[in-house]
Amino acid sequence: MSILITPKTKVLIQGITGEFGARHTRLSLDYGTKVVAGVTPGKGGQFFEHGKHKVPIFNTVAEAIAATGAEASAVFVPPAFAADAILEGVDAGIGLVVAITEGIPVKDMIKVKRAMVGSTTRLIGPNCPGLVTPGAGKDSNGGCRIGIAPGYIHHKGHVGVVSRSGTLTYEAVYQLTVRGLGQTTSVGIGGDPVNGTSHLDAIKMFNADRNTWGIIVIGEIGGNAEAEAARWIKENCTKPVAGFIAGATAPKGRRMGHAGAVIGGKEDTAAAKIAIFKECGIEVAITPSDMADALIRCAQAKGVKLA
């Protein structure tokens, strides 16, 4: 098993005809992901063709779900229209919305988050690489890939990875794969200050997933989401957990690429977060090259298998 998505998950793509959305839809189809529908207002009735694949396009998310039974949506819509696209998915009652779009205004996300109170839809992102549940085939083909992560670096297995950063997630996944440690699911929750799913939400799911035997949690400067997750881990999680915090050298008050990566208060710094990780029994990776090894150390100390 895995969290959030399985190789059987039926995926729809909002913004399938845009350049970015189309490119990653092709890559997901090549990976073996069940992309069952696309949504582009005004292009309903057309098809998105790639090789032997012919994905029907709909005008609205509600129509796409009714016709195909899509269970998860990837949002590749430009920033100015992305909040609207997310809410369309929520209104249609889809279970999972993964917002890849970078640069959505904070105010739009404040409204989205408020509008989602009481909704059964889970939002991942925005400004995230999405998620991958690797498959059993060569280069993990046959898995479910929603978003922009490279599928081939994954390997089916028992480690859960959650991160705010895209390339840092890939780094961790790749380190695991070359050491023969596969993943259940890798989740990029995104670098924005207002997002749908937190580190803690993902960790709770990994903790509850019987197939996940160890967890890597990657955070960065800004906000207190990592601290919140760490304190929960200390009380509730018996699985080995390794962590890394990016931004030890970041200057105060500057936005380091991600909109959320700004050091504001004292608890925002990398040093403060690392101290909390340690205090909560999380094995801290000394450098970003040490993430998989840190998890191995932690698993060995606990006498837990990772593969």
Partner 1 sequence: MNIHEYQAKALLEKFGVAVPKGAPAKSPAEFESALAQLPDGPIMVKAQIHAGGRGKGTFVDGFKGGVKFAQSKAEALEIAKRMFGNTLVTLQTGPAGRKVQTIYFAAPCDIEKEYYLAILLDRVTSRPVIVASTEGGVEIETVAHNTPEKIFKIYVDPAVGLQGYQVRQLAFKLGFTGDYFKNAIKLIAGLYRTWWESDATMVEINPLISAPGGRVLALDAKVAFDDSALYRHPEIVALRDLNEEDPKETEASKFDLNYIALDGNIACLVNGAGLAMSTMDIIKHFGGNPANFLDVGGGASKEQVQAAFKIILSDPKVKGILVNIFGGIMDCNTIAQGVVAAARETSLNIPLVVRLEGNNVVAGKKALAESGLKLETADSMADAAQKIVRLVA
Q: Does 182 bind partner 1 (CB under 8 A)?
A: no
Query: Is 158 a residue of the active site?
Result: no
Q: Does 22 bind partner 1 (CB under 8 A)?
A: no
Any residues with CB less than 8 A from the CB of 217 and at least 6 apart, and which? 162, 163, 199, 203, 226, 229, 233, 241, 242, 243, 244, 282
Of 1-9, 36-44, 203-211, 214-222, the segment contacting partner 1 by CB under 8 A is: 214-222
DSSP 211-260: T--EEEEEEESSSSHHHHHHHHHHHH--S-EEEEEE-TTPPTT---SSTT
Question: Number of helices (H) and strands (E), helices first, in the chain?
Answer: 9, 14
* Residue closer to partner 1 (CB basis): 40 or 169: 169
Of 6-14, 34-42, 204-212, 217-225, the segment contacting partner 1 by CB under 8 A is: 217-225
Site residues for partner 1, 53-112, by CB under 8 A, read 79-80, 103-111
Q: Which residue bears the tokens 């509730």?
A: 236
Catalytic residue among 154, 155, 158, 258: 258
Contact 298, 278 (CB under 8 A): no
The C-alpha atoms of residue 165 and residue 93 are separated, in whole angstroms, by 28
Least distance to partner 1 from the beta carbon of 67, Å? 30
Q: Does 244 bind partner 1 (CB under 8 A)?
A: yes
Site residues for partner 1, 253-282, by CB under 8 A, read 254-261, 265-266, 270
Write out the catalytic residue numbers: 258
In the complex, the residues that contact partner 1 under the rule CB under 8 A are 24, 27, 79-80, 103-111, 113-115, 129, 148-150, 152-153, 163-171, 174, 191, 193-194, 218, 220-225, 244, 246-251, 254-261, 265-266, 270, 286-290
